[in-house]
Amino acid sequence: MLHIAPERPFEVTLSRLLGAGYVSADLLKPNVRVRVDITHLPFPDDSFDVVLCSHVLEHVQDDLQAMQEFTRVLKLRGWALIMVPHFPEIGKTFEDPSVTDPAERLKLFGQEDHVRVYGDDFVSRLQNAGFEVRVMRSADFLSQKDIARLNITPLSGDIFLCTKRG
């Protein structure tokens, strides 16, 4: 399993469960197994059964290249769970690479280090990277009580289950 920008509670549990089969990776975090730029992953093709990437792509200038890298390193029968802030109601994804000022990014993209806001075309972006995509909503597998307890919002509730087209 390749876990991009691992969240500490998941990292501890997955590392314990998977041992050497768990690879934590990040560009900036010092305590990961591999320091990587996700647009140029240092792994051979078809290396991983699972790729987990939660709320990272909105920070990456060339998100298509990163998605293509996930497809490349994923085994044919593997799967990827990808999550991003997702606003289908805005229509097409909004991005403007010329915006570099953190205050302007906050205003336009909702956070100082985001470079885009994903719209209703996010699935097609994943498909263009070589994935088959199934969108799962938190309500598909959690009760309303669990959704409230876990503080899952519509913004964070979509999970994109991706498999390598092949």
Rounded to two decimals, the pTM is 0.91
Residue type, 9: P
The model's pLDDT over 74-117, given as tens digits with 9 standing for 90+, comes to 999 999 999 999 888 899 999 999 999 999 999 999 999 999 99
pLDDT at 124: 97
Given pLDDT bands bounded at 50, 70 and 90, which one contains residue 164?
very high
- Give 3-41 as a DSSP string: EES--HHHHHHHHHHHGGG-EEEESS-SSSSEE--TTS-
pLDDT at 156: 62
The model's pLDDT over 102-160, given as tens digits with 9 standing for 90+, comes to 999 999 999 999 999 999 999 999 999 999 999 988 778 778 887 777 777 665 668 89
Q: Answer yes or no: CATH 3.40.1350.10 is held by domain 2-164.
A: no
pLDDT at 54: 92
pLDDT at 105: 97
Map out the domains of the chain as residue ranges. Answer: 2-164
Cβ distance 38 to 109 under 8 Å?
no
Closest CA to 70 of 22, 131, 119: 131
pLDDT at 137: 82
pLDDT at 146: 79
pLDDT at 132: 97
Given pLDDT bands bounded at 50, 70 and 90, which one contains residue 166?
confident
pLDDT at 19: 95
